[in-house]
Amino acid sequence: MRQRSSVEGRSTGHRSDLTSAAVTAIAELLGVPADTVSVGTPFNDLGLSSVQLARLTAVLEDALGVEVSLTDLFDHSDIDRLVEHLATR
């Protein structure tokens, strides 16, 4: 039981790190403060164009150290969903 709590704690921490990195990357692409980026709002509704979404994949790959495809962004269309997907890899 103790081991499971440790694993869950790492998972929660990893998701938090992924979320923070994604919020920061999107805020920088949009030129807005990070605290204005909603993790539950679809990327298109945040104001990201298709070109910015393509750039976001590279920025996220650099920031997160995992491969992120354009398909990932369309299949998991907001930060929460994307982080959940990436955290399970």
Residue 6 binned pLDDT confidence (cut-offs 50, 70, 90): very low
pTM of the model: 0.81
- pLDDT at residue 11, rounded to an integer: 65
Please write the tens of the pLDDT for every residue from 66-80. Answer: 899 999 999 999 999
Q: Which two tokens stand for residue 43?
A: 């990327």
Coil, strand or helix at 87? helix
C-alpha span between 86 and 50 (Å, rounded): 21
- 30, 83 contact by CB (below 8 A): no
Q: Which two tokens stand for residue 71?
A: 């398909």
Give CATH for domain 2-87.
1.10.1200.10
- pLDDT at residue 13, rounded to an integer: 82
Residue 3 CB neighbour total at 10 angstroms: 7
Please write the tens of the pLDDT for every residue from 26-65. Answer: 999 999 999 999 999 999 999 999 999 999 999 989 887 8
Write down the domain spans for the chain.
Answer: 2-87
